[in-house]
Chains A and B, each alone.
Chain A
Amino acid sequence: MRKIPAIVTTLAMAGLWAAALPTGSAQAATCAGLHSSLPTQYVYAYDAMNCDSAELGRAVGNDQNWGDSGGSFQGGDTNKASSVINLGLTSQVKFYNGTGAFPNGGYICLSRVEGFVRDLSDDFFTSGPTVNNAISSHQWVASSACSNWAT
């Protein structure tokens, strides 16, 4: 079980999308289906396209290194995500190619309104590389902090 940082309260990012969507068992293994059924507040990441695998992790807070033993994404989670879901309320999720306090390597954002990305292979960090299997950290931000969006 992955730990959720205690510093972020459950009040932080009450999600809307999940509650907004119709539920349906036929969609349970897809990003759209999970988007409608998963708990709100979190950002989710998956190893497979279209969220068709076990979760790599989920987080209510920020995580500056998906490959270390701290934060919500740990160990082998770094450089693995192929699909992601944003179920936050007022924030976008900014994913980074790099790690650390100020990661190098570019970023890409996932809007709370657009909700999920089934296939990160046609998305690119600001610095150029593909996003697929290359996310190493994330942060919740306002849309004014983003000029590059995941499709």
Chain B
Amino acid sequence: MTKRSRLRRSLALTLAAAALAALTGACDSQARPAGSESTGEQRDLTRAEEVEIDRAEQVLVKKCMRDKGYPYWPVRVAGVDERKSDRYVNDDVAWAREYGLGRSFEDAAEKERREGRIARYHEALPKKERISYSLALIGSLDDMISVRTPSGGTFETPRTGCLVDASTQLYGDHERWFHANKTVTSVTPVYVPKIQRDRRLTNVLKTWSRCMSESGYDYADPDGLRAGRDSLTKGMSDGEAEDAEVKVAVAEAGCAARTGLGTTARALEREYRAKELRDHSTEYRDYRRMRLHALSEARRTLT
């Protein structure tokens, strides 16, 4: 398998969320002080703020493991531009020119996964020491927290371990955070199909598709564009494939910006998500409040 085809295979799957927008509540607005959490303000976090929390989590896990006598190497945290790779549609032409369909991000993630320091360390440990290391980091299945979701399933997660310790430091109450986070994310498969059927989306998709045709591409929707990526670059050299991907990505972004597909998809996601979360207002309030709390703690940790 060539490097390009390997990367393409890996990258492609990351981008194929087949769900609308980021689905995480993150937005692109400017960063704001995290202190608003203490006043009871409710808001979603920006992608940059999510990155701060993820980086702080790695610092806290490392400290916890060190305190228990184990080495730990923070794993790679995706930056803001990389997180944009998961959008349903890209309407940022500058991003498309820079990253195309996002191939370079997947390359970096795969390299970390295959060659990361912690993976190599853990792999080299004798079985007995692996057990101790695992218990310190992840905790034990003998002591679990359970959360019943709106769809009827039950999530279970360990009550101890350095990952839990970091979560507790960031969010204040790990069990409450786990409950809120799992409840809020469990509405995703409930509202996404409704957006996909909404005529406000299907109408703008037709306009976007016409715009793409004028640029020489025949796709019904952004999923179709990504699904056709292999055929688009078949037989090309690495350089040619990357150029072709940037070209189609720029067309996608330009058409999405001109037709309003990106803004429509994001607006519909906000609308439908909020509607579904009305039935889980306590958990959603906790979710947003605790994420702001985590942001404050992350900034304290990272300074």
Contact = CB atoms under 8 A, between A and B. Distances in A.
Interface in B176-191: 182, 185-186, 188-190
B81 interface: no
B17 A126 contact: yes
A90 B118 contact: yes
A46 B158 CA distance: 23
Interface residues of A, number: 64
B142 A22 contact: yes
A142 B123 CA distance: 20
A106 B123 contact: no
B109 A142 contact: yes
Interface string B129-171: 0110111011111100000010111111110000100000000
B98 interface: no
Given A11-B123, A101-B13, A101-B227, A148 B133 contact: no
A26 interface: no
A19 B130 contact: yes
Contacts, number: 201
Given A35-B141, A100-B230, A104-B227, A128 B193 contact: yes
Interface of A: 5, 7-14, 16-22, 32, 35-36, 40-41, 62, 64, 89-91, 94, 96-98, 100-108, 111-115, 122-128, 137-142, 144-145, 147-151
19 contacts: A7-B6, A11-B115, A12-B113, A17-B138, A22-B141, A94-B13, A96-B18, A100-B227, A103-B16, A106-B189, A106-B192, A125-B18, A127-B189, A128-B193, A144-B77, A144-B83, A147-B23, A147-B24, A151-B182
